Chain A
Amino acid sequence: MSSQEMQARFIKDRLQGRGERLLRSWEALLLAVAVIIFAINVWSSPYFLDPWNLSDATFNFTEKGLIAFALALVIISGEIDLSVAAILALSSTLMGLAMSHGAGTPELVAIGLLTGLACGAVNGFLVSGLGLPSIVVTIGTMSLFRGIAFIILGDKAFTGYPSDFAWFGQGYVFWVISFELVLFVLTAVVFAVLLHATSFGRTVYAIGNNPMAARFSGVRVERVKFILFLLTGLMSGLAAVCLTSRLGSTRPSIATGWELEAVTMVVLGGINILGGSGRIGGVVLAALIMGMVTFGFGLLNVPGIVMSIFVGLLLILVIAVPKLVTRIRQVRRKG
C-alpha cells in the first residue's frame, strides 16, 4: 500500500470500477449459491417449479425477512436484538386480546405495529438511554416480552380473527404474487435506500465501525441506535400482523427460535456480526436461499429440527469459511 501512497498527487475517486466490485462481492457469491440451490430443488422435486408451490415457498422467508432487514441495521451499528421473536409473540398476543374484545382489522393492525414500536422503544431506551449491553438487555426483554404473552395466554390460544384480517397473510395482490411478497420487496427497497443512500445510513456504518470515533465526529450515536431499535420493533410488529393473519391463531410460543433464523439470515447476507459492514442486497439473497432450502427440505419431508441443525451450521460456516480461506491464503503466500 505504501507504494500506492507514494504515487502522484492526484487521487482517484475509486480503486476499482463498479463492475469489478460487483463481481468480487459477497452478493455475487450468494447469487451463485441461490442459483445452485434452485437447480437442486428443481432436480430433486418435480413439484418445485409449480408457480403456486413457488409462491407458497416465499412465505418461508417473507415474515422473517421483514425482521431481518431492520435487524441488519442494528447489527451493522454494532448492537444486536435477540428479542425480535418475543416482540412478535407479544404483538400477536395483544392483537388476539384486542380481537377477543371485539377489535376490527384496522385496530388489530394498529395494535400490532404499536406494540412492536413500544417494545422497540423499551430496548432502545435500555441500550442507548442507559448504555447497557444490547446482548444481555435483549436476552432479558426476550424473556420479558414472551413472558407477558404467557401471562396473558397461559396454555391457551386466540383464534377466530376477522375474515378480512386474513388478507395480510393469505391475500394475493396479483395472480401468485402474495401481499407478503410485495411487502417484502417494498421493505427491502426502503431499507436499502435508507442504509445506502441517506446520511442516516452513513452514520449507522460509522457507529458500527467505531462508535467512539463516530461520537467524536459529532454523530448522535445514542439517538441513531434508539431509532434502530424502534425500527426493529416496528418491523417485528409488522411481521406479527402478517404471521398472525397467515396462521389465523396466536399461541404464546408463536415464532419460537425466529431470532436465531433472523440473525442467521443477516449474517449469511454478508453483514459483519461485529458491525460496520454489509448490504441489504445480501440479506435479500440470504432470505431467498434460506426460504428455498426450508421449502426444499419440506418437500423431501425432512423434520424441522434437522432444518435447524442446518441453520446453526450455516451460521457458523458462513463466518468460519471466509476466515479459513484468508488464513490458508496467508500461509500459502508465506510458504
Chain B
Amino acid sequence: MIRLAGIAKTFPGVRALGGVELSLFPGSVTALVGENGAGKSTLVKILTGIYQPDEGHIELDGRPVRFATTMDAARAGVTAIHQETVLFDELSVAENIFLGHQPRTRFGFIDWKRMNAEARALLERIGARLEPDMRLRDLGIANRHLVAIARALSIDARVVIMDEPTAALSHKEIGELYELVERLKAEGKAILFISHKFDEIFRIADRYTVFRDGEMVGAGLLAETTQSELVRLMVGRDVGQVFPKVPAAIGEPVLTVAGYCHPTEFEDIGFELRRGEILGFYGLIGAGRSEVMQALFGVTRPSRGAVRIDGQVAVIRTPAEAVARGIVYVPEDRGRQGAIIGMPIVSNVTLPSLYRTSRHGFIRMAEEFALARDYTARLDLRAAALDQDVGTLSGGNQQKVVIAKWLATRPKVIILDEPTKGIDIGSKAAVHAFMSELAGQGLSVIMVSSEIPEIMGMADRVVVMREGRMAGTFARDGLTPEILVRAAAGIGEEA
C-alpha cells in the first residue's frame, strides 16, 4: 500500500538514514526493529511529513507522493502514535483526540456535542475509562497514551504507525492494545509497529524490517525467522561482546536512601549504593526512575525520606548542593538538560568546575583548556576543536562532553539516566567501557536504563520500579530478562 524507496536523511554531524526501503501492506502488521539511534524515529518523522527526505521517495498505491507537511500525511491517511505522547495539557480529552479535524456543523462551526459523543465512543472502543471533558493535565502517562491511540483512530487512517505503544502500559492494558491491533488489521489498515519487545513482535506482527545505524539490514516474514536471527541483524555482532563489564571491588555504602517519597511521582523508595558498584534501575518508560534520580540530584523536592552520603544525613535542595556533595547526574534529555548547545565544548566541560579553573572569580583560560582537554581525551571525544559549539557534535560525542563535565568535578556518585539512548554503537561501547573503568576506580554508578541487555550486561545489582514504587531488587547472579520484565510489568509468578 505504502512504499518508501531509497530514503536518505542527513543531519549536521550525523547521517540518520541512508537509502532505506520499507513497504507496508493492508491488513498486515510490519514490525520495525533496531537499536535506539538506528533511524526509526527519523523514518517515522519522514512518514508523517515532519521531515523531508534528502533522497528517495514515498509511494502510496503505486503513485509517488510528497508529504510536505504533517497535514499532507494526515490527508493521505498516515497517522502515528508517538513515543513521547505529544498532546495538549490544557485542552480536554475530546479536543486532544479531534484537534485539527473536529466534527463540524453545517455552518462550519465545531460541533462540540458530536465531538464529545464521538470521543466517548472511541474511548469506549479502546476500553479507556475516561470522560471526554477531562483535562489532559490531570491524566497519568498510561491514560495519555490511550488518548493518543484514540486520536490516531479518530483520523480515518489507512496507515497506522505505533511507536513503542506498549512501553508505558500495564499488562492488562497491553492485552487490550493487542486486541485493538487485531481489530485494525481486520479493518484492512497497514500497521507499522515499532517495538523493543521480541515476544510482542512475534505475537502480533506479520513482517519485519531491521534497521542498523540508519541502514536497512533485513526484512521478511516473521514466520520465516527466529528471535536470535533478528537480534543478530539488529546488533550486527554477538551480544556477549558488547558489554565490557569488569568485576570491581565493591566497598562500603556510599549512598543510602530510605523511605523516599514524592507527592505524585514516587513512593517508598529505598536502596543502598556501594563504592565501586554499578546499580541498575530498570522499569517501563514512566515508571518514575528518572524522577527519583532528579529528586536525589536536587531538581525536585521529595516530600519525605532520608538520604545519607557516607553515613551522614544529606539534605539536597538544589543541583548545586548535590554537586557539592559529590552526586552528579547525566540526564536522559541531553539536549535540554545535559549539553548547553550554543556554548563551546570547553565551557560545557568546565561549567561545574569553574572554581577550579579560576582565581578570585577570574577565569584562567589556559587551565580551563587543560582541564577540558584532559577529560575529553579520557572519553575519546571526537571533535575538531575545543571551542567548537557542542551542538555541532553527534549525540554520542555530546554525551561524552556531558560525562566529561561531571568527571571533572571528581564526584563520588554518578547517576547516568539512559546513558546510551540515541547514540551510535561506537560511542555506546566507549560509554560502557568507561563506566566499567570508573567503577573499577571506586566510583559508584547508578545507571537508569530501559534496555535489558544493557542492564544485564553492566549492573552489579538491579532495582526494578513500577508505577512509582519499587518492584524488587535483584542481584546479578541468576538474573534473567524474564525476571526483570515480570517485575517491571507487575506479572505474578503464576501468570
Contact = CB atoms under 8 A, between A and B. Distances in A.
Touch test A–B (CB under 8 Å): yes
Interface in B312-363: 318-320, 322-324, 329, 331, 336-343, 346-347, 351-352, 354-355, 358, 361-363
A202 B351 contact: yes
Contacts of B383: 4-5, 11
A210 B320 contact: no
Max chain A Cβ within 10 angstroms of own Cβ: one of B340, B383, B393, B409? B340
Interface string B378-403: 00111111111000111001000000
Interface in A1-20: 1-2, 4-7, 9, 11-15
Interface in B255-308: 297, 299
A198 interface: yes
Interface size class of B (residues with CB under 8 A): 35 or more
B343 A205 contact: yes
Interface stretch (A54-62, A141-149, A213-221, A303-311): A213-221
A205 B383 CA distance: 22
Interface in A188-208: 197-200, 202-203, 205-206
Interface string B70-111: 000000000000000000000000000000000000000000
Interface in B405-438: 405, 409
B358 A217 contact: no
Interface stretch (B7-15, B172-180, B189-197, B230-238): B7-15
A13 B405 CA distance: 17
B12 A1 contact: yes
A14 B343 CA distance: 13
B381 A11 contact: yes
A250 interface: no
Given A199-B354, A206-B347, A218-B352, A13 B369 contact: yes
A212 interface: yes
A216 B347 contact: no
Contact of B340 (A5, A6, A14, A213): A213
A148 B165 CA distance: 58
Given A5-B394, A6-B382, A15 B388 contact: yes
A5 B319 contact: no
Interface of B: 12-15, 297, 299, 318-320, 322-324, 329, 331, 336-343, 346-347, 351-352, 354-355, 358, 361-363, 369, 373, 376-377, 380-388, 392-394, 397, 405, 409
Interface of A: 1-2, 4-7, 9, 11-15, 197-200, 202-203, 205-206, 209-210, 212-220, 276-277
5 contacts: A198-B361, A205-B343, A213-B340, A219-B351, A277-B342
Given A206-B340, A210-B339, A219-B320, 7 more contacts: A5-B397, A198-B363, A199-B355, A202-B347, A212-B336, A216-B331, A276-B343
* Closest CB pairs A-B (n = 6): A218-B323, A4-B384, A199-B354, A209-B342, A12-B385, A15-B385
